Amino acid sequence: MIKLSDHKKQIANLERRLFLRSSLSIGALSMLSGCNLQDNDQVDKALWALSRWNDRVQARLFSGSRLAPTYAPNQVTMPFPFNAFYPEFDAPQVDLSNWRLEVSGLVTDKTAWTVERLRSLPQARQITRHICIEGWSAIGDWGGVPLKTFLQRIGADTTARFVGFKCTDRYHSSLDMASALHPQTLLALDFGDEALPTANGFPLRLSVPTKLGFKSAKHVAAIFVTNTNPGGYWEDQGYNWFSGI
């Protein structure tokens, strides 16, 4: 079996080789992008092209069954840290009485979901590490509905390429279908034995331990299935879209 660390090494190697090659031969990079790399716009486009290439390589290396490590209850980080593109006191306060999870795109059942109905689906629990690109990590005890279970329940076209997520705070993100169907990709309702704290995404968030933390969208309000890459808040600003770990 291929270990997570081996994959990491493979990806790092590929990136390093590509980087070496392109820095040794800026000509190769110009060929790739079809421009002379004189102005910033063109350099930017070339780098985006590299990042997209990297998405495809990572998607090919990704195994839908390789599991991220799990931890013991006494290793859970308490309190779990907060991070967002705004300060903690701005985290959205959600009133459950009018909260619904909207569903759209390539699915057969577009009925909106209450928290109660989400809790009636089979639940899973996992203690996994959340790794933020900003250089910190924390271990969380997440409970909720496996995204795969949810996608099957709404009759999602699982041959479609992407699943997109829109959040109450206008954050957004997206996953490739293989990652969306991964057994550890969870629509979390709980942290430990309690409903999610406001700061950590009440009432519904993603926990995607096979990806960098910015893919774990909090306060998820809408899910859609599509063949057009929906991008995301950080993804659109240059964070690598696939960001597998």
Ligand X SMILES: Nc1nc2c(c(=O)[nH]1)N[C@H]1C(S)=C(S)[C@@H](COP(=O)(O)O)O[C@H]1N2
Interface residues with ligand X (CB under 6 A)?
Answer: 80-85, 132, 167, 169, 171, 199-201, 213-214, 216-219
Residue 106 Cβ, how far from ligand X at the closest point, in Å? Answer: 23
CB nearer to Mo ion: pick between 76 and 132: 132
Only one of the segments 68-76, 166-174, 186-194, 213-221 lies at the binding site for Mo ion (rule: CB under 5 A); that segment is 213-221
Length of the chain: 245
What, of Mo ion, ligand X, none, does residue 82 touch, CB below 5 to 8 Å by kind? ligand X
CB nearer to ligand X: pick between 18 and 76: 76
Task: Spell out a b/e string for 39-74, using b for 16 or more CB atoms within 10 Å of the CB, else e.
Answer: eeeebeebeeebeeebbeebbebbeeebebeeeeee
Residue 24 Cβ, how far from ligand X at the closest point, in Å? Answer: 34
DSSP E strand stretches across the chain: 102-105, 124-132, 136-146, 162-167, 172-176, 186-191, 194-195, 205-207, 220-226
Alpha-carbon distance of 55 to 52, in angstroms, equals 5
Please identify which residue in 143, 209, 213, 244 interacts with Mo ion, judged by CB under 5 A: 213
CB nearer to ligand X: pick between 117 and 170: 170
What, of Mo ion, ligand X, none, does residue 35 touch, CB below 5 to 8 Å by kind? none
CB nearer to ligand X: pick between 214 and 241: 214
Subset of 121-160 contacting Mo ion (CB under 5 A): 132
Instruction: Report yes or no: 219 and 205 within 8 Å, Cβ to Cβ.
Output: yes
Residue 232 Cβ, how far from ligand X at the closest point, in Å? Answer: 10
Instruction: Report yes or no: 146 and 121 within 8 Å, Cβ to Cβ.
Output: no
Q: At what angle do helices 26-33 and 4-24 cross, to 10 degrees?
A: 100
CB nearer to ligand X: pick between 33 and 235: 235
Only one of the segments 6-14, 45-53, 192-200, 205-213 lies at the binding site for Mo ion (rule: CB under 5 A); that segment is 205-213
Evaluated on CA atoms 16, 174, 132, 73, the torsion sign reads negative
